Amino acid sequence: MLRFAQILPAPVTVTLEKRPRPSSPFRPRAILPRRLRGHFFSLLFLATIAFVFHYNYSSDSNTVSTTSDDHLVYLSDLPKPEGGSRPPRFYEWHDREKLLPQHNPNLPYPQGREGRYIRFTNQVCCLGWGNVMQEILLNAHLAYLTKRTYVFNNYTWDKSPHDFSTFNGKPIPARVPLTALLSGPIAGDPYPSSAASSPAVISEFFDEVCPTRTVIDRDEVSGALGDASAATIFQAWLDKLERTEDRCVEIKDHTPQIFDFWLFGDSKRLLDIWPSFSTSPILTHFSWSPLITAALAANADVIHPALSSASPSSFVPSFKPPPLSGLLALHIRRGDYIDHCTHLTNWSVRFLGFNEFPGLPDKFTPPKHSGSYDNDYGYDIPPEERARYRAHCFPEIGQIVSRVREVRASLQSTTKLTRVYSMTNGRPEWLEELKVALQEDARREGLAEWEHIGTSRDLRLTGEQKHNSQAVDMAVGQRAEVFIGNGFSSLTSNVVVLRAAQGYNWDKSRFW
């Protein structure tokens, strides 16, 4: 029997090949829309929206035959959005994915028509990038451990057949190719030679080489596990997939995720996966896409001079990019996140699981409550405890300045911080107030003034980069010498994971 604890890969650096440019656009095939059902409890951890879309389902695991549906309603066929702007469609990125060398059905085993594959059709949809990224990292790691080729999907905001959707009344891409966000084994680049794994493939290729496949209902394996730990969940799926003889496996759509937000929100369940996950090629060979690294290089003046486009390496994805010396990155959520923080307070929620690594210096104890409980509104939290929670979840300018001063002072004997970059959706005028307050506080405390203070709002981005700006910010947070994040945020959690995997000192990853 394949044992989870026995599979600990040794990382080896490989050279990525340049992907060919396509000659014509590729239109992704249509996916039928799902029925909407309110998912109230997702408010505990998911900051970006208040609803998760679910399909109803009824059948058990079985073998099915499928055919491809290439029909799509194109953006050009739809009414032009108000204001005249249209989001990018990423057709060239889809074309590049189709041209990856592993998409040749005639390749010998373990690739091509004889290969063994797994597709997670139940991948979470319609949520922010941070929530999706944390799930697909573990999905890809599970595929790696089972020695099946990982089938990667788009980052999907809307499963309707249209090219674009809306967010806060503004048009956005309905889906983004994964390769526009990430590079490395998770997105079709080679594994290190020691891993003996085949490069990931796209769903269209899976449909071509797997006209029949075994479909496994997530609850068939996870349903009886209850609140099991991540390592226990992994072992149960390793056992199930080892017993599955079919070379093609699909995790059934319209079912819950194998690694759901309840797991990511509970450090007691989540962290036992780290010894395996931290040494997986999915993390050791993780890198951002050329689109994201180009955005960093084009904005070196805003972020850090070391990112200057004058350096050719700035555009090349790197498995372990060097820290940006002297840079302090701040993750500051604004806007309707205040409502999310209120819900988190009501339910007395802790930091997300990966934000509670034992080595991290900043801990958080949930608010005290009277013990009275209401199913609709949560616990009765005293005002002083609500204020304490808000300082960690939605800090105001004075609290941000104070925390920056505190962290800067605690590290001054070993680290000279000279620049600030705020990863934020704050209003421009509010961010200008923050910049002034940070400089004034430095002068008042007799500290060196900040050489530069930049924010997400200062970036100059292409249309494609703008719609992936969360990834741009995460790439900055990953490389900053010191990072202060939001312990309740999946974006922060992913940054913490990447920093931990690269060996950053724990005391340089902090929280409000």
Give the pLDDT of residue 55: 29
Stated pTM of the model: 0.83
| Cβ burial 87-117 (10 Å sphere, 16+ → b, else e) | bbbbbbbbbbbeebebbeeebeebbbeebbb
| Cβ burial 134-150 (10 Å sphere, 16+ → b, else e) | bbbbbbbbbbbbbbbbb
Residue 433 CA to residue 453 CA, distance in Å, equals: 12
Helix locations, 331-382, DSSP H: 337-346
End-to-end CA distance of the chain: 45
Which residue, among 372, 361, 358, 398, has the nearest Cα to 510 in the 3D structure?
Answer: 361
- Tokens at 288, concatenated: 């951002």
- What sign does the dihedral 162-164-170-176 (CA atoms) show? positive
Strands 175-176 and 155-156, by their bridges, are antiparallel
Which residues have C-beta within 8 Å of that of residue 395, sequence separation ≥ 6? Answer: 332, 403, 512
- Tokens at 231, concatenated: 């390592």
Going by the DSSP 8-state scheme, the letter that residue 216 receives in this structure is E
Residues of the chain with pLDDT under 70: 1-84, 309-318, 370-376
Give the pLDDT of residue 44: 40
Give the pLDDT of residue 168: 84
Residue 317 CA to residue 462 CA, distance in Å, equals: 18
Contact 147/247 with Cβ under 8 angstroms?
Answer: no
Which residue, among 102, 92, 77, 124, has the nearest Cα to 28 in the 3D structure?
Answer: 92
For 317-511, CATH number out of 3.30.830.10, 3.30.70.20, 3.40.50.11350, 3.20.20.70 equals 3.40.50.11350
- Phi first, then psi, for residue 403 (nearest 5°) are -70, -40
Angle between helices 230-243 and 129-145 (to 10 degrees): 50
Strands 248-251 and 212-216, by their bridges, are parallel
Contact 49/202 with Cβ under 8 angstroms?
Answer: no
Residue 362 CA to residue 357 CA, distance in Å, equals: 10
Domain(s) labelled CATH 3.40.50.11350 in the chain stretch across 317-511
Q: What angle do CA 110, 114, 120 make, to 5 degrees?
A: 80
**Residue type at position 93:** W
Per the DSSP assignment, residues forming a β-bridge with 373 are 379
- Tokens at 65, concatenated: 């035959």
Contact 472/465 with Cβ under 8 angstroms?
Answer: yes
**What element of type H or E holds 133?**
helix 129-145
- Phi first, then psi, for residue 39 (nearest 5°) are -125, 80
Does the bond joining 317 to the residue before it have cis omega, within 30 degrees of 0? no
Give the pLDDT of residue 129: 96
Which residue, among 144, 245, 264, 162, has the nearest Cα to 198 in the 3D structure?
Answer: 144
CA 15 from centre of chain = 24
**Residue type at position 187:** A
- Tokens at 206, concatenated: 């899976």
- Tokens at 461, concatenated: 């981005």
Give the pLDDT of residue 320: 82
Which residues have C-beta within 8 Å of that of residue 415, sequence separation ≥ 6? Answer: 326, 481, 482, 508
Residue 320 CA to residue 386 CA, distance in Å, equals: 40
Residue 187 CA to residue 179 CA, distance in Å, equals: 6
From the number of C-beta atoms within 10 Å of its C-beta (0-12, 13-18, 19+), residue 283 rates as buried
Residue 247 CA to residue 480 CA, distance in Å, equals: 43
